Amino acid sequence: MSAELLSLSPEVAAAKAKGQPIVALESTIITHGMPYPRNLQVATRVEAAVRDSGATPATIAVMGGRIRIGLDGAMLQHLAETPQDQVMKLSRADLAACLALGRTGATTVAATMICAHLAGIATFATGGIGGVHRGAESSFDISADLQELARTPVTVVCAGAKAILDLPKTLEVLETLGVPVIAFGQDTLPAFWSRDSGLSALLRMDDPGLIAASADLRRQLGLAGGQLVVNPIPHEHEIPREVMIPIVETALRDAVTQGITAKSVTPFLLQRILELTQGRSLDANIALVLNNARLAARIATETARQGG
Ligand code: PSU
Ligand code: MN
């Protein structure tokens, strides 16, 4: 692939040349997941958290006909302040088209995995992944993130799936697709704002070195796809499930009433929940993303140490 198509920032290129740990970060969370200017502050703080944990951050987006691996301050600023309807929300289906059109695009989990893998980055931190939406039996709304986890070898660290999704169905699909879901440090699966979903985890690891080793073993075995690490939100930032359930129900009802469909569903629900919790959900969201960035940096460090 031409260097014009995949453009590494000087910092990321230097880390790669030295075999130092790198953590990929997505950009849809900036453009479609949080309001300006908090989104910019968070993007900057997440990058700092990765650096403080000994790795190099690589925030990924499409700009000017190139996949950018690592964004400078001006690029982050541009993404953060551009209105949602002027930035493409990119998944596997539209990544190439965005490049052809020369438009600005923010990468979802799926597209970030594709770009990270092209750049030789094996670890990626985010907040929440897309999954099987509630009512998917009639809407067929299942995020392309799940398929991507089945085919692209990147370890994705998240805080579990939001209650806007059908968590049991999401887990069933991941199991069918052969994606390992690894709970970090506890026996139950976290549910984004809450540490416990009430569902038990099939896999648990307490040591980032084991998560790195497991990714390498998948490669040795010729198993396609990545791993999903679910990392519970820190205690002090948790919002109990009982508090979130009625809020999520209201947001879901509003989405139906307003006829929101397809790619707009997830951004709409995130925004509505933010309003309904008067920002408390955003504070929790920020805390868990930072926590995931730190864990991903530890996994990337182990991967580099193990020679991956
Ligand atoms: N879930 C969140 N926050 C997010 C997203 C999901 O809690 O910002 C974003 C991620 O970029 C994810 C995308 O990959 O939404 C999934 O969108 P969809 O459901 O349309 O596939
Ligand atoms: Mn969808």
CA 154-211-126 angle, to 5 degrees, is: 50
Q: Do residues 19 and 70 make contact, with C-beta atoms less than 8 angstroms apart?
A: no
Q: How far apart are CA 253 and CA 64, in angstroms?
A: 38
The domains of the chain, with CATH numbers, are: 1-121 (3.40.1790.10), 125-308 (3.40.1790.10)
CA of 271 to the centre of ligand 2 (A): 16
Active-site residue identified among 16, 47, 89, 162: 162
One-letter identity of residue 169: K
Residue 26 beta carbon below 6 angstroms from any ligand 1 atom = yes
CA of 263 to the centre of ligand 2 (A): 5
Active site annotation includes 263: no
Determine the residue of 129, 162, 264, 281 to mutate for testing ligand 1's pocket, defined as the one with the most ligand atoms within 8 A of the Cβ atom: 129
Q: What is the largest CA-CA distance in the chain?
A: 53
Q: Do residues 8 and 69 make contact, with C-beta atoms less than 8 angstroms apart?
A: yes
Spell out the alpha helix ranges (H) of 185-279: 208-220, 241-257, 265-276
> Going by C-beta distance under 8 Å and a sequence separation of 6 or more, which residues neighbour residue 166?
131, 132, 133, 134, 135, 136
Ligand that lies nearest to the alpha carbon of residue 146, given by its number in the listed order: 1
Active-site residue identified among 26, 47, 148, 302: 26
Q: How far apart are CA 301 and CA 303, in angstroms?
A: 5
Cis ω for the linkage preceding 37 (within 30 of 0): yes
Residue ranges in the chain modelled with pLDDT below 50: none
This prediction has a pTM of 0.97
Active site annotation includes 89: no
Residue 238 beta carbon below 6 angstroms from any ligand 1 atom = no
Q: Is 205 helix (H, G, I), strand (E, B) or coil?
A: strand
Per-residue model confidence (pLDDT) at position 308: 65
Residue 144 beta carbon below 6 angstroms from any ligand 1 atom = yes
Determine the residue of 152, 266, 268, 277 to mutate for testing ligand 1's pocket, defined as the one with the most ligand atoms within 8 A of the Cβ atom: 266
- Buried-state track 231-243, b at ≥16 Cβ within 10 A, e below 16: bbbeeebbbebee
> Going by C-beta distance under 8 Å and a sequence separation of 6 or more, which residues neighbour residue 186?
195, 196, 201, 204, 232
Ligand that lies nearest to the alpha carbon of residue 145, given by its number in the listed order: 1
CA of 220 to the centre of ligand 1 (A): 30
